[in-house]
Structure 1
Amino acid sequence: MSTRGGGPDRRGVRAKVEAQRAAERRAERRRRVLLAAGAVVVVGGIVAVIVVNFPSSSSSSGLGPEGMALQTGPQLASVSSAASGQTVDGISCDSSEQVAYHIHSHLAVYVNGQQHSIPYGVGVVEPVPSTVNGGTFVSASQCYYWLHTHAQDGIIHVESPSQKQYTLGQFFDIWKQPLSTGQVGPASGHVTAYVNGKAFTGDPRTITLQPHEDIQLDVGTPVVPPQSVDWSHAQL
């Protein structure tokens, strides 16, 4: 049969070409859909890895360099007048930290119901600050006393060349701040003391520093009930 004038053969060829092009377009659309789906999976995997390897900052909100909650409120006293290298109560200041006996206690002080923070740098002579996990952590440029603080989180580090008993009074002596039943640093008034949530009725100077011990001193009134301390995030 003749193919002139767009006869049946030419129309059949044209239909085949259009069908092939339509198939190619469908294949291209499928390919794009598959590529998009793959990208979503890859991005989702990356997000999952990020979530797994980098915890949300909100999970550690308020925690300082040592994984403990930072203390708020004004400092109880500065470290400007603290011991600067001389031996205090038989405790020397060494060029490096002594770790034969290494424990941590927590101290919180409230004055007339308001928390007053324990500053970093007590027992750290010529402290050098650095930013760690969004908070300040200090190291010594000269020496460390066996009782000292690295961050403003109330943690007292006991790092001694031998295992022996140390007291809260010795820490305050290194700080060069008074401590008695009627005074904590510059704050005066009746002192209510708690150790691990229980009332301590003796001289607060005699409170011994124990591993993961919670010490709370309330000066004046109102007396703040003993506050729990979360050690679960600390590597101490």
Structure 2
Amino acid sequence: MTTNRRTLPALALLLASTAFAASAPGPVVWPAPKDVPERVRAAGLEMLDSEAMDMHIHTTLKVHSGGRPVTVPADIGIDRSGPKPRYSPLHTHDTTGTLHVESEEWRDFTLGQFMTEWGVSGVREKCGADVAGRRWAGDPSRIVLRDGETITLRCR
């Protein structure tokens, strides 16, 4: 293969961009737990045979670990191991970071309960948070989930 002066810069740019893409950090993976009913009980919640709609809100959760984005997994709080899915009143359907609260009663649900269902520990010690664009001064696990709000969790 022969190259001339015009192809060398393009080749150098292609090699540099390929090397950058190969070394660029991607999202951090914190997988969904396999023991859904146990995690839901640990969060102080009960599995339901169907999604309840008496209380129906959505909160967006964005998570960063060491400055890198963390994908919030699908099916946190959903047990698909039986013939019919069972649901925690606090769950995810997809990887968008939308937390669904679908409960038989109106009450407070917290970020700590969701993180327990997810199997993530150390939020109080390792993470800071913003709620609706404002810095959260206290323990992030105590944040009450509100409809339409975005919670950004920054962990070490």
Q: TM-score, structure 2 length as denominator?
A: 0.75
Instruction: State the match for 1:161 in structure 2.
Output: 104
Q: Where do 4+ consecutive residues of structure 1 move more than 6 Å? A: none
Residues 36, 78 of structure 2: 8 Å contact kept: no
Alignment-mate amino acid for residue 106 of structure 1? T
- Residue 171 of structure 1 and its aligned partner are, at CA, apart by 1.0
Match of residue 49 from structure 2 = 95
Matches for 1:223-234 after TM superposition, within 5 Å: none
Q: How far, CA to CA, are the matches of 1:163 and 1:79 in structure 2?
A: 27
CA distance in structure 1 between the partners assigned to 2:93 and 2:104 by the alignment = 18
Whether 1:214 aligns to 2:150 is: yes
Identity, % of aligned pairs? 29
Query: How do 1:1-236 and structure 2 match up within 5 A?
Result: 73-84=27-38, 87-126=41-80, 141-183=84-126, 191-220=127-156
Quote the offset at 1:89 in angstroms.
Answer: 4.0
Q: Which structure would you say has the larger RCO, counting Cα contacts within 8 Å and 6 or more residues apart?
A: 2
Q: Distance in 2 between matches of 1:113 and 1:102?
A: 32
Max Rg structure: 1
Please provide the CA RMSD for this pair: 2.3
| Structure 2 unaligned spans of 5+ | 1-25
Q: Which runs of 5+ in 1 are unaligned?
A: 1-71, 129-139, 184-190, 221-236
* Structure 2 match to 1:34: none
Pick which of 167-176 and 146-155 moved more. Answer: 167-176
Report if aligned partners of 1:85, 1:92 keep a CA contact under 8 Å in 2: no
Instruction: Give the count of matched residue pairs.
Output: 131
Change (3 A) 1:177 1:123: same
Change (3 A) 1:127 1:73: farther
From the superposition, tell whether residues 74 and 81 of structure 1 become closer, same or farther in structure 2 (CA, over 3 Å): farther
Deviations 1:101-124 (A, max 9, x none): 000001111111110100001000
Letter of the aligned partner of 1:204 in structure 2? Answer: P
